[in-house]
Structures are given as C-alpha cells and as structure tokens.
Structure 1
Amino acid sequence: MTMTARPLHEITLLSQAERFKGRPKLCSDCGVCGGELRPMMAASCVFVNNKHEEFERQFHGRNRRDGDELLFGVHRAIHIARMRTPNLEAQWSGIITSLAALLLERGLVEGVITTKAAPGTRWAPLPFLARTPEEVRASAGNKPCLSPNLEVLDEVRAAGLKRLAFIGTGCQVHALRALEPELGLEQLYVIGLPCTDNTSYPDLQRFLKVASKSPETIVHHEFMQDFRVWMRHEDGHTETINFVDLDVSALGGERGVFPAACLSCFDYQNGLADLTVGYLGAPLPPDQRWQWMFVRNERGEELFELIRPSLELGQRTEGGDRRAGIQAYVGMLRKPRKRPPLPVRKFVAWLQRSKGPKGVEFARSVIEQKLLRNLVYVRDQFPRHEQRIVPGYVYRALAYTADVYAREFGRPLARVPAEAATRSEA
C-alpha cells in the first residue's frame, strides 16, 4: 500500500474522504502508516487484530475482573482530582500537561509526544515531540479530532531518545504497545486520554455549527453527565444544549460523522495506558474542573505519586440505575427513532436529569451504550472482523442485556463462530 507523505499540519485538516483514501476501511489514522514503522501496521493495528487482553496481561499483569473493570479497564485505584493551581488554558485543570512537564523537569524523560493546535486553528491537533516543560504546558487544551501521533516516533528514533512519555488515545496506545519492542527505549510512560466518537476537523466544525449559536467563539466543549453539551466561549459565558436536542440527522447521523474505526472501537477508557486521565465519572459542575484518574499498573502509580503533591483530591459520586435505560437502548439500536418534537424533547431532558444515572453510574451507562452500539455496527458492517477486533470483555460486560438483545436482533449477544459470520457476510 503506497502512502503519499504529507506534513502533519496538513493531514490534520483533511476531510475523512481525503484522509482515508487508499487506506483500509477500518483506520483511525494513528500515524503508524505514515512513518518508517509502516511495515508493522498489520501487527500493531487494533482494527486488524485486537490484542488488548494479551497486552493487559503483559503490561498490567492480569486481565479485567468482573464488575467495573469490565467497563473501566484494569486498575489499582481510581482518584477524583484537579490541580490545586489550575491551568486556565486547559480543558479541565491541566493535570496531563502538568504531569508531562514534570517528567521533563525531573529528567525522567527526554521527550513527550503530545499534540498542540495546528496553525490557524483551535481544535485541529498537530502531533509533536516536546523537549521542554514549556512546550508541553503550551499544548494544553483538548483537540478532539483524529491525530496521527505515532508518526512522531520517527523523530524519536532519529534523535536516539531512550526515555519517552506518550500522551494519546486508545487506538494509538494499542499500536504503541505492539511497537514498543522495536523502539529500543529504556523507559516509556503512557498517559491515556479517554476517547470515543472521534472525527475529522471539518466534521467537528460541522458539529459545532449544529450545536452552537456561535461556533467560532467556542474555546472548550464537552458532553457532560447532566445530559447536556457544555460549550464555553471566548468571553467566558457558557452555552448548553440537551443531548436530545442535538440534530444529528443534520450531520448525516452518527455514521455520517464518525469514522468506521471509531464505531468499531471498544476501548473508551484507554485501558492499556499506565495512567488514564478523563472526566466521565467526575462530579459536576464542569467549572469546578474535576477529573478522574485510573492508576493501572506500577508505572501508573509512579506517575500519580509524581503529580499528587499538586493535586486536590475529591470524592466519587454516583446515583440512579442505568440498567433499564440500557436495555431500552438495545431496542433503539434495532429500530432507530426520529428526533421527537420539542415538547417531548423537553420532557425527556427533564427526565434524564432528574431520574437518570449520575456520577460513576452515568459513566457505566455511556460506556455500555458505546459497547452495544459498536458491537451492532461491527456485526452489521464487518461481521468477519468480529472475531479479531471485539475483545472478550465486551460480551462479559453486556451479558445482562443478552435476553433483550436476542429478542430484538434474533441472534445471541455472545460471539458467533467465525465460519457462521463468514456465511452471513457472503
């Protein structure tokens, strides 16, 4: 497969059609195909062969236990935290960039692969190798778009670096774990970003135009656990829109916005990182900047203890019961509903906020929805791939929906033998 080399700052601005031209149907543009490690693409790509459970044993010492680990990944501890002195330019309080900068300050690493904003944009990610704490801190802020971070490994190898920190998404981390033996590193710290439903920069701009009255002035936005999208603007004011009010049909539906790879991903919580830092189960309101941190292994404990003196720790919260709603969601996947009229949407939004899951229970709900939706998508679009790209923990996590799934879809939730899937696709 021939790839045309393009500068990273150009790649990040491309549409999906331009970006994935000539590539496999399942591609998240993690960066492996654009660099010297391209020959290892098939051995490292999570969408060719998902080795998540094998890598859990290798890097964490065991696989996921029943319970919350099926959704959140292997972990030794979960902390609710924020920086005592927040970085106001960060999406939250700046935990990730502060930690990466500290690794450089202490001489624990020689470089950090991270992302900054591409020139002339606020949201388009530009992967780069930061060599100073100042460079890392200046990269603060969310860039929720596809980013070929692993292409920067060429620069790491050319510079002969032996101690590295990597900040990235689940698909990138899976590939990095596979490539790690080839890199000749003495030390590698992996800081994970939770990620779901990523998209190209042009499609993100389309979404913001649908969601906001002033898309060009948004500086931060997030899907929060009160079932609203919170959008903070340049002048400091916050705009919100209910999930149910988003006109996804104007974007061509989820399949018209998100790449096939993101709709075939089963690692929302970036389970192969040493330390994952996100927001999903952290308490509201968002202007308090709480996040949660998953310490996954010994190296993750080292990272947490390094940043801990700079953190304020909070308490986990949870409420409600997601299970009835998740089982109803299975039916919606089978028979998608049209966007309801405004009075109905107002009632649904009120019901979600007053009766819906909260805190950690909200996080469980969101992750289960993504696992269900993506399993349905893979079975619909790529049935022969299910054996290779859907990890076993997905079926265990969703087992309580097995009866309603079988009733709605006329087939078991459990994995289907490979030969049966082949006959189905044929």
Structure 2
Amino acid sequence: MHEITLMSVAERIQGRPKICSDCGICSSSYRPMLPQVCMFVENRAEQIERKLHGRNRNDGDELLFGIYRSRHVIRMAKPNLDAQWSGVVTSLGALLLERGMVEAVITTMAVPGTHHAPLPVLARTPEEVRASARNKPCLSPNLDLLDQVRESGVKRLAFIGTSCQVHALRAIEDHLGLEKLYVIGIPCTDNVAYPDLLRFLQIASKSPDTIVHHEFMQDFRVWMRHEDGHIEKINYVDLDVSALGGELAIFPAACLSCFDYQNSLADITVGYLSAPLPPPERWQWTMVRTKAGEELFELIRPFLEVGTLSERGNRQVGVSEYVRMLKRPRKRPPFPIRKLIAWMQRNRGPRGMEFARSVIEMKLLRNLQYVRDAHGRLERRIVPDYVYRALATYGAVYEEEFGRTLTP
C-alpha cells in the first residue's frame, strides 16, 4: 500500500477503465462487484439516496449540498493542533472507539516520511485515529481494507472517506455482513496522484517541501501552512496552471467526472467549505444527513463550540462568466490585471454559504462539460439527474455559448 499511493495515475489505473479513482474496490476481493458499485460505471447516487432517506433531493440548497437534516458551523473546543482544522473528523472516529460503538475505523494516515501521501489504515485504537489527522488530497484506495475488515471479524465499523469511496461502500453495504456502519464523509474535489500533488506544490509555493497542509479559501487565495507555522498565501488567479500542463494534465479523469463534491451519501459530512474566515479560528462546516448522522453529531456535540452560518454576495454573475470561460478559455492575464482581479474577488466575491454554492456549481459545470467532451457516450450513466436541476439557472448562457441545451 505504501508503494501504490506513491504511484502516478497512469501506473495506478493500468489495466482498468480510464475513469478510475482507485477507491480500493478494484484491488479487493469485491472487484467482481465493480459494475454494480462504481460511480464511474453507473452513478447510483439517486437510487442510494432513496434507500437512505426515502426520497431524492428537494429543490433549493439540497440540489447542491445533498439531503441533510441540519447543518452547522462547529469546531472542537480543544482543537487538535496537528489537524488541518480543529480535528472534528478524527475526534469523532476516536470517540466511536472509546465508547465501544465500533471495533475499527477505516481512516487515512500519511506514508512515513511524507506530509501528504495517503496510507489507508484499519485503526483499532483512538490514538491511531487521532494520528491520522490532516488532509491528504490524493487518490487513496481505502476500500481495499474491506478484506481486512472481513478477515478480522469486525462487525461494527466506521469509515472516513471521499465521495467515490462512499458511493461504492453504500452500494456494497448489504454484502459486508456488518452489524453497524457509520460513514463520516469528507468533501472532496480534484484529488491527484501523489506525484502530481508534489508538482502542484512546486509551482505554487516558495518552499514546497515544508508545506503541512493547504486549502483553497473563501478569500480566493490558497493558504499553505508550513512546518514552522507560518502561512503562505497565493491568489487563485496567480496560480500558473499552464505550467502543470493544464487541468487535464494533473487531475484524474475520475475527479473530472465526479458530481458529489459534498459527499452526499455519508451519514455526516464534515469539511471547511462555508465555514467563516479567518482560518486560524479553525471553524469547520458539517451537514448531518441521516439518523446515524444525528447520533454521530450528538456524540461529538459536548466537545464542540458552535458558530453561525453566514453568507454574502451573489454568485450568479461570476458563475455565468465561468460558463463562458469554459467555452473560451483565457490566458493568464498580466500581473497588474491579476492584482485587480484578486482584489475584486477578495472584496466583492461571495462568502459563506454563497461561496459554497458557487464552488459546487462551477465544479458541476466543469465536470459536465468534461464528460461531454471526453466521455460523451457515458453521460446518461454517470451524470445524476440532480445535476441538471441544480444548474438550470445557467441553462440560457450555456446554450448561448455551447449551442446545445444544458439538459440532455
């Protein structure tokens, strides 16, 4: 597993379909079930939603964020200073073990000697879970550990993972023989193979080897925290994506074909996206989705401080312009223009919930167009119906630019 996570995308998916996120199913004994569980063979998100919730998404925010019972701004009252944010996810996994609610937690540590290379582990102690804190934004075959779960006789399991992993896990859930499964979802977009992450950090940072974690923040800058605690910031518009060969050269086909940034099939989703600035306050954002999710939230609640959801601005003008840029990509502007764009984004751009909506809409638009351009024959199988409902506002500008309707 150490060696797998250090490989390039081409090496990892050799002999598999081109759209593969290396979630771990293919390398486990459950591989024969691939056609029934892989979201890139057939996306069953809406079918799984009906099983989890008894319904599909309502109009409004559920189209973007998935079905939820409640949503909150939270942070650990005593944060884990080694975590990317306050440590809610790993604290929750550790609590489940401490209270005897589960026997093991599938989580992701870092390969020894690296900050970011993912190493899936079947954690059996709270200390192991807490040690897996920090984000590793790379492809990680977490579901490969389902064989270990079966062989070790674990019947009560918690799973911490990304949306492609959770989709496959939900689709296979009835075949695992578990008495209890808790699913803690991490919002996820544009993961990369570990070598490509290193390439990105080399372009973005003055000291790439000392970066502990990084995040694309609401002020339209990438914040990169280094080993000595200082934070390096770079404007989105200053990132030289062309130096990486463009998005298609760094992001796997799977991430460009995914429509579940918000990890909507989890019991509870915990991330950053709409939490307030500034980051040193370590606020996080959570959506409680199921009855099991409510159980998880009540378990962690005594250890939390609760903040307030907020929003500012109007995303629709910016997202409409993004549609036009998808059709007519623009070169990186000169520095003075970039400086003005960055100021406008930082001072006039959306914030809070409106920022979250804008990010998800842009990812849906970009990925829909990628599927149409690169894998058009698969569109009806891998693009959920909710995507078209969520993007209906931009139907006119899409048709104007692309000469076809947004809805197939």
The answer to whether TM tops 0.5 is yes
Query: Which whole-Å deviations, capped at 9, do the CAs of 1:361-399 have from their partners, x for residues lacking one?
Result: 001000000000000000000111000000011000100
For 1:229 and 1:122, locate their aligned partners in 2 and report how far apart those are by CA, in whole Å.
17
Q: Please identify runs of 4+ aligned residues in structure 1 that moved more than 2 A.
A: none
Q: Partners of 1:294 and 1:268 in 2: how far apart? A: 13
Task: Return 5+ residue gaps in structure 1 as ranges.
Answer: 1-7, 416-426
TM-score under structure 2 length normalisation: 0.99
2:99 matched to 1:106? Answer: yes
Deviations 1:248-295 (A, max 9, x none): 000011111000010000000000000000100000001111011100
* Residue in structure 2 matched with residue 228 of structure 1 by the alignment: 221
Q: Secondary structure at the match of 2:184?
A: strand
Aligned length, in residue pairs: 408
Q: Give the alignment of 1:128-277 within 5 angstroms.
A: 128-277=121-270
Report the Cα offset of residue 118 of structure 1. 0.8
- Residue 18 of structure 2 aligns with an amino acid whose one-letter code is K
Structure 2 unaligned residues grouped into runs of 5+:
none
Query: Which digits, 9 at most, give the CA deviation of each residue in 1:126-156, with x for residues without a partner?
Result: 0010001111111111111000000000000
* Structure-1 separation of matches of 2:53 and 2:212: 36
> Cα RMSD between the aligned structures?
0.6
Cα distance in 2 between the residues matched to 1:135 and 1:351: 44
State the AA in 1 paired with 2:169: L
Aligned equivalent of 1:343: 336
2:296 equivalent to 1:295: no
Structure 2 matches for 1:309-388, cutoff 5 A? 309-388=302-381
**Counterpart of 2:151 in 1: which secondary structure?**
helix
**Distance (whole Å) between structure 1 residues aligned to residue 337 and residue 125 of structure 2:** 53
**Structure 1 residue 62 corresponds to structure 2 residue 49:** no
Aligned to 1:407: 400
Instruction: Give the Cα separation in 2 of the matches to 1:277 and 1:406.
Output: 35
- The one-letter code sitting in structure 2 at the alignment partner of 1:226 is D
Question: SS in structure 1 opposite 2:41?
Answer: coil
Task: Provide the rounded CA distance (Å) in 1 between the counterparts of 2:54 and 2:234.
Answer: 42
Distance in 1 of aligned mates of 2:397 and 2:330: 18
Deviation at 1:63, TM superposition (A): 1.0
Give matches, 1:26-41, under 5 Å.
Answer: 26-41=19-34
Specify the code of the residue in structure 2 equivalent to 1:361: E
One-letter identity of the residue aligned with 1:49? E
Q: Which residue of 1 aligns with 2:39?
A: 46
Find the aligned partners of 2:294 and 2:55 in 1 and give their Cα distance: 16
Matched to 1:209, the amino acid is Q
Give the TM-score taking structure 1 as reference length: 0.95
* CA deviation map 1:28-77 (0-9, x unaligned): 00000001111111110000010000101101222111001100000000
**2:384 corresponds to which of 377, 391, 399:** 391
Shift of 1:350: 0.4
Q: State how far apart, in whole Å, the 2-side matches of 1:288 and 1:211 are.
A: 24
Q: What secondary structure does 1:280 align onto?
A: coil
Partner of 1:126: 119
In structure 2, distance between residues paired with 1:132 and 1:237: 32
Deviations 1:336-358 (A, max 9, x none): 00000000000000010111111
Task: For 2:82, give the aligned amino acid.
Answer: E
% identical aligned pairs: 71
Distance (whole Å) between structure 1 residues aligned to residue 54 and residue 285 of structure 2: 22
